[in-house]
Amino acid sequence: MTIKAPQPGHVLRTTIAHIGGLDARASEAAQQRQQSLTKPAGALGRLEELSIQLAGITGELRPLLRPCQVIICAGDHGVVAEGISAYPSEVTAQMVLNFLAGGAAINVLARLFGADVLIVDVGVKSDLPDHARLVKAKIRPGTRNFLYEPAMTRAEAVAAVEVGIGVAQKSIEEGARVLVTGDMGIGNTTASAAIAATLSGLPAVEVTGLGAGVGRDGWRRKVEVVQRAVDLHMPDQHDALDVLSKVGGLEIGAIAGIVLAAAAARVPVIVDGVISTAGAALATEFAPAARAFIIPGHQGLEPGHRILLEYLDLRPLMNLDLRLGEGTGALLALPMLAAAVATLNEMATFEDAGVSGPLE
């Protein structure tokens, strides 16, 4: 028997169709319990908001937060040829090998918090060795140089998003209860700045940062490249595939897919820095309802990160001046999720503790 393969875009369309709203009953139950706990109303601040969001996402007052799966999407960028990065493209593959060897910051944090790390090759220029923690799903060996031509075709953009969807779905099927997005790709802060400029309508100079430390002269060149690319391609900010294919990155597309898959499965997804947030922003263009399932772990130093968070109308859980990527800032927020769930469920109520409640 011949099984017909799904048409390109089928997985994306199906995933979007399965994204609904938060569980209103669970959210209301969490809100009511917060009001009965032995503390002034709102005294736990963001932890209270987070506990209500997690209840709404999962439909449970005490959702499981383990296993936690970090998914690092890796891809190279043709625009690196324009001198916009302090590092050569070869570093992308070298860092993937470092992830696989357990030597990067994200590996240290994952061991500390008991999370698992998975790397997805969506578009690394170099061939990578087989490894149990590496998913080989290369669409093409890096994007094209978007200073002169679109970064990828629309079909390649769809394929990148569907890689992310597939990896996230498999992780969830295997038991993951929280997903953390990470990235690796020399040149990807340039692509993220182009996405931020497109979605926000702001000039490149306001959304472009130093990335991995390109220096002031390099920054000026980077700003020029981002602005010229946006002016040349004129991506449609309301068409996520148009933005992704013209000025995006393969790993950014995969991150958008992870966010969509998490939302469809009602699993919390903690997003990391500017690259992950660019992917999350595109995910909300595909499916606005996905926004409610996103938890922004932190706000980094890249100006585009702040702009994208404002675009999403999301407040980060912390600000540690991070600019590493890999999923580090997102994973650091995981204990905050655990604290939100624990305080909601384990604090005594005024009635249980025999404590007088607030005066009417």
Count Cβ neighbours within 10 Å for each residue of 103-131 and write b for 16 or more, e otherwise. Answer: ebbbbebbeebebbbbbbbbbbbeebeee
CB atoms near residue 216 (< 10 Å):
8
Count Cβ neighbours within 10 Å for each residue of 275-306 and write b for 16 or more, e otherwise. Answer: bbbbbbbbbbbbbeebbbbbbbbbbbbbbbbb
Scanning the structure block, which residue is given the tokens 């068409």? 239
Catalytic residue among 48, 90, 326, 351: 326
Q: How far is CA 63 from CA 53, 66, 212, 334, 337, in A?
A: 11, 9, 36, 13, 10
Q: CA 262 to CA 71: how far, in whole Å? A: 12
Element holding 136 (H helix, E strand): strand 134-136
Which residues fall within 8 angstroms of residue 4, CB to CB, at 6 or more apart? none
Label the pairing between strands 294-296 and 134-136.
unpaired
Active site residue 326: yes
Three-state SS at 130 = coil
Q: Which residues are catalytic?
A: 326
